[in-house]
A and B are shown apart, each in its own frame.
Chain A
Amino acid sequence: MSEQLKITCSGCSLLCDDIIIIKDDKEIKEILGACQKGINKFNQIKSKNRILSPLYKDKGGLKVLEWDLALNKAIQIIKNAKKPLIYGLSTISCESQILALKIAKKIDAFIDSNSTICQGKFLNIASEMGITTTTLTEIINKSDLIILWGTNIVESIPRLFSKILFSRGKFRMTGREIKNLIIVDIYKTASFKVMGTRDLAIIIRPNEDIELIKILKKAVKGDYTFPNEGISGIDKQDLERFKTFLLNSEHITILPGQALLNQKTNGDAIKELLELVNLLNNIKNNGRISLLMVGGHYNMVGFEHMALSETGKNQSIQFKNGESIKSDDNIISKIQKEDFDLSIIIGTDPISHFPLEISKILSSKPIILIDNKKSGTFLIATLILPTSITGIENKGLAFRLDHVPIQLKKIIEPPSLIQSDYELLQKILDRLNK
């Protein structure tokens, strides 16, 4: 018999909690309200690239293993390693992340999440300077200016605009009519298509964002006139409008993207932006200016919280003798220095994200991959342990991009003999503890 359920989608970090599905005992028949990314997540259930049994690579290629043998193999590989890495963890539940941290502690591993090459850079700098953050609800209710800076939200978190820009809020009853939008990017991305006549499109020359932020800092203090020729390819008139928007809007939310994280002077653009935010918050008598990080993986934020609560550090944690110790490394430096002899990759695909030079080093040591689908990393992994899909085939806690915890439900049963990340990691930990 069919039933209708309202569920939360784990297709991206927005964790949309208004998705309707129609299902029977065995499968999902219909999905209503999900975006292209969300639909893709549900398509994973029956994807031909789904991994449905443990696999081990030997001289003859990939061989299917029984679960007990596969787990024994995993334990043998882990016990042989002296400097293991654990990486990924952004597409598993918080409960599983805690288990991964426990395993890292048990085996004296270096553990890091995808955040270290994404929004984590922002948080690391913010931990020294402070940061004003916000929630989706606050943006919906209060924001009158939203600034996308180097991020193409329409294609990376497709429903975010429908939630924060086109929605009506407690103090923004007319919705889009009273919410202005500024987009700063090097070209007109798909996100520019939602812009109206009042909005401000800033096309900036590549790698010059930091100059714009510095000029805006001077301008909002009131003691600066923009040069007649503009700066960084931006007209003087647009710079004046940008300044007016910043000074006259009440609640401003900035969504910074990878373009800001990848400036020529590493990290400086982030520092400058945080300083601009602090400056405006000091100048403004009413309202507030805040940042909303827009990492893509559905539980990237969760790992920051779990790691912080378990170890006092939000990422890049080195364990030694069962304790977390000071380390200036991140996953990239550990691989680059070849300071590892095993990598345990959980729910991610570094081979498809890392530069060739790093992937080569990573592939030169054994890799245990824990994931539900094939990937670049699958093609070079030594041992592959499949799992179910969190938010569809098993439940778990995740943190939305605005750091709000959301419970994900189990909707259908996983394929035969496929267990959740949590169950699998618990078995590994139990066997390591024996």
Chain B
Amino acid sequence: MEMILNTIRLINNDQNVEWNCQDVEFMEEHLAIGFINPLDFKKLYLVPSLKLHISNNHGDVIVNFKQDSKIPEGIILMPVSLWANQVTYVKNNNIIYKNIKVNVEGTRDPPTKLNELIEKIKSDKI
């Protein structure tokens, strides 16, 4: 399903805090996450055990999700992080962090691990 992704800053999902003091597992739990409206949860035929596969022309990532009725339908929010960076992009020399068109679907695959993201950055050297 096509959705609009916005990256945000949340005090309990802050990559600066996570890098500073927490374990990798804790970081993955707090940063590999998307927030969606419960109506989108239904539209995506999700169940709590599924994860979200988020993709666009720039990349893809698998994250956990939480439902939040405050979030407008059709919008997915993600904390600014290595996970969100998989679908952000550059336009006119600026990084686009907001209003990013993405395709979202449920998956049984586990959330993308930190080391997988780092390997992706390292292995595909241009």
- Write the residues of chain A forming the contact surface with B, with a CB cutoff of 8 angstroms: 36-37, 40, 43-44, 47-49, 117, 121, 152, 154-156, 158, 186-190, 203, 206-207, 258-259, 261-264, 266, 296, 329-330, 332-333, 336, 338, 349, 351-361, 363-364, 373-376, 379-380
Assembled-state Cα–Cα distance A360/B119 (Å):
10
Q: Report the minimal beta-carbon distance from A41 to chain B, rounded to whole angstroms.
A: 8
**Chain A residues whose CB sits within 8 angstroms of the CB of B92 once the complex forms:** 266
- Assess the B126–A44 pair: CB atoms within 8 A: no
Known: A152-B8, A187-B72, A363-B121. A262 touches B97 (CB 8 A): yes
Q: Report the minimal beta-carbon distance from A88 to chain B, rounded to whole angstroms.
A: 13
Q: Report the minimal beta-carbon distance from B15 to chain A, rounded to whole angstroms.
A: 5
Q: Mark B52-90, 1 if CB is under 8 A from A, else 0.
A: 000000110000000000111001010011100110111
Q: Is the interface of B mostly helix, strand, loop or mixed?
A: mixed
**Chain A residues whose CB sits within 8 angstroms of the CB of B99 once the complex forms:** 206-207, 262-264
- Assess the B95–A117 pair: CB atoms within 8 A: yes
- Assess the B98–A259 pair: CB atoms within 8 A: yes
Assembled-state Cα–Cα distance A236/B120 (Å):
49
* A337 to B, closest residue via Cβ: B93
A-B contacts counted at CB < 8 A amount to 138
**Chain A residues whose CB sits within 8 angstroms of the CB of B50 once the complex forms:** none
- Assess the A47–B20 pair: CB atoms within 8 A: yes
Q: Report the minimal beta-carbon distance from A131 to chain B, rounded to whole angstroms.
A: 19
Known: A351-B121, A373-B20. A188 touches B70 (CB 8 A): yes
- Write the residues of chain B forming the contact surface with A, with a CB cutoff of 8 angstroms: 4, 6, 8-11, 14-17, 19-21, 58-59, 70-72, 75, 77, 80-82, 85-86, 88-99, 118, 120-122, 124-126
**Chain A residues whose CB sits within 8 angstroms of the CB of B72 once the complex forms:** 186-187, 203, 206
Of residues A203, A262, A336, which shows the largest number of chain B Cβ atoms within 10 Å of its Cβ? A262
- Assess the B9–A380 pair: CB atoms within 8 A: no
- Assess the A380–B121 pair: CB atoms within 8 A: yes
- Assess the A352–B17 pair: CB atoms within 8 A: no
Q: Of A40, A330, A338, A355, which contacts B16 at CB under 8 A? A: A40
Known: A352-B85, A359-B85. A43 touches B118 (CB 8 A): no
Assembled-state Cα–Cα distance A333/B90 (Å):
9
Q: Report the minimal beta-carbon distance from A359 to chain B, rounded to whole angstroms.
A: 5
- Assess the A40–B21 pair: CB atoms within 8 A: yes
Q: Of A203, A263, A363, which contacts B125 at CB under 8 A? A: A363
13 examples of A-B residue contacts, CB within 8 angstroms: A37-B14, A37-B17, A187-B71, A187-B77, A203-B72, A352-B85, A356-B58, A358-B90, A360-B125, A373-B20, A379-B118, A380-B118, A380-B121
**Chain B residues whose CB sits within 8 angstroms of the CB of A156 once the complex forms:** 9, 11
Q: Report the minimal beta-carbon distance from B98 to chain A, rounded to whole angstroms.
A: 4
- Assess the A363–B90 pair: CB atoms within 8 A: no
Assembled-state Cα–Cα distance A206/B71 (Å):
11
* B80 to A, closest residue via Cβ: A353
- Assess the B6–A206 pair: CB atoms within 8 A: yes
Q: Report the minimal beta-carbon distance from B118 to chain A, rounded to whole angstroms.
A: 5
Assembled-state Cα–Cα distance A13/B59 (Å):
32
Known: A155-B9, A356-B85. A121 touches B94 (CB 8 A): yes
* B10 to A, closest residue via Cβ: A155
Known: A352-B19, A363-B121. A206 touches B4 (CB 8 A): yes
- Assess the A49–B21 pair: CB atoms within 8 A: yes
Assembled-state Cα–Cα distance A336/B118 (Å):
19
Known: A121-B94, A187-B71. A155 touches B20 (CB 8 A): no
Q: Report the minimal beta-carbon distance from B111 to chain A, rounded to whole angstroms.
A: 16
**Chain B residues whose CB sits within 8 angstroms of the CB of A336 once the complex forms:** 90, 93
Assembled-state Cα–Cα distance A266/B16 (Å):
27
Q: Report the minimal beta-carbon distance from A155 to chain B, rounded to whole angstroms.
A: 4
- Assess the B19–A332 pair: CB atoms within 8 A: no
**Chain A residues whose CB sits within 8 angstroms of the CB of B86 once the complex forms:** 356
**Chain B residues whose CB sits within 8 angstroms of the CB of A374 once the complex forms:** 19
- Assess the A333–B93 pair: CB atoms within 8 A: yes
Assembled-state Cα–Cα distance A211/B98 (Å):
17
Assembled-state Cα–Cα distance A37/B17 (Å):
8
Q: Of A49, A187, A360, which contacts B19 at CB under 8 A? A: A49
- Assess the A354–B21 pair: CB atoms within 8 A: no
Assembled-state Cα–Cα distance A364/B122 (Å):
7
**Chain A residues whose CB sits within 8 angstroms of the CB of B8 once the complex forms:** 152, 189
Q: Of B4, B11, B21, B59, which contacts A155 at CB under 8 A? A: B11
- Assess the B19–A355 pair: CB atoms within 8 A: no
Q: Report the minimal beta-carbon distance from B93 to chain A, rounded to whole angstroms.
A: 4
**Chain B residues whose CB sits within 8 angstroms of the CB of A296 once the complex forms:** 9
* A329 to B, closest residue via Cβ: B93
Q: Of B19, B82, B125, which contacts A364 at CB under 8 A? A: B125
